[in-house]
Amino acid sequence: MQRNVAPTSPGSPKGNSKTSGAGNVAGPGKGVGKGVGPGTGTSKTGVVFTRKQKHEMRWQILASPDGDVHVQKLAALNITLAIPGKAQGSFVVFDLTKQPPSGKLSDLAAQRDKVMWINTDPKELQGLAKTLRLPEVPRFAAIFLPPELEERMADLEQTHNGGRPEGEIEKTYWDVVQRDGVYENLPTIVHQKVRGQK
């Protein structure tokens, strides 16, 4: 559901579909000495990624070209969905708890500090347009994770398969599992790619 702030990226595991994590890729980090993580260097070329940016680049939630399934997964996670409005800089934000989902114009200021991905997958956008009853297929859709969901996902990632240092993880793939006809409100890790792994 979600290329870095998110069209679909290659090399992901099999699944319904996918959208990839977001990121403002900017180059190597600042620092002095050995080890992983930001340091106290004075490099004029490096950029230290925030924790949120690392999550955007590393995480990917699997979606679906079926608009109904896609929306149900987002709704289960209490994720905010937005599509570009007609006016420059405007967006329509959807309340996915309502049937059919209702949208209202917003400048997204309230979403500024959340993990965000942009989905540009044509099939998934077509499915969303149908389910949301949009007059046309949008250029992209943006999703925003609630801060509490980001924290819970970070905890799950840290303990997955006995735990692995963050710097060794290239990608973590998530899916929203359906049990007894209801989608769970916490995604499940379905695959984790280690750096250097083919």
pLDDT digits (tens, 9 = 90+) for 33-55: 334 444 444 445 567 899 999 99
The β-bridge partners of 92 are 83, 105
Q: What count of Cα atoms within 13 Å lies in the side-chain half-sphere of residue 86? A: 4
User: Averaged over 85-91, what is the pLDDT?
Assistant: 90
Amino acid (one-letter) located at 108: L
- Answer yes or no: are the C-beta atoms of 142 and 1 closer than 8 Å: no
Which secondary structure element, helix H or strand E, spans residue 124, and what is its range?
Answer: helix 122-131
Q: How far is CA 60 from CA 45, 55, 100, in A?
A: 28, 9, 26
More reliable by pLDDT, 110 or 59 = 59
Q: What is the pLDDT of residue 98?
A: 84
Mean pLDDT over each residue of the chain, to the nearest integer? 81
The β-bridge partners of 118 are 142
Pick the closest to residue 124 from 21, 20, 18, 22 (CA basis). Answer: 18
Q: What does the domain layout of the chain look like in residue ranges?
A: 1-21+48-198
Is pLDDT above 90 for 18? no
Q: What is the pLDDT of residue 97?
A: 83
Report pTM.
0.74
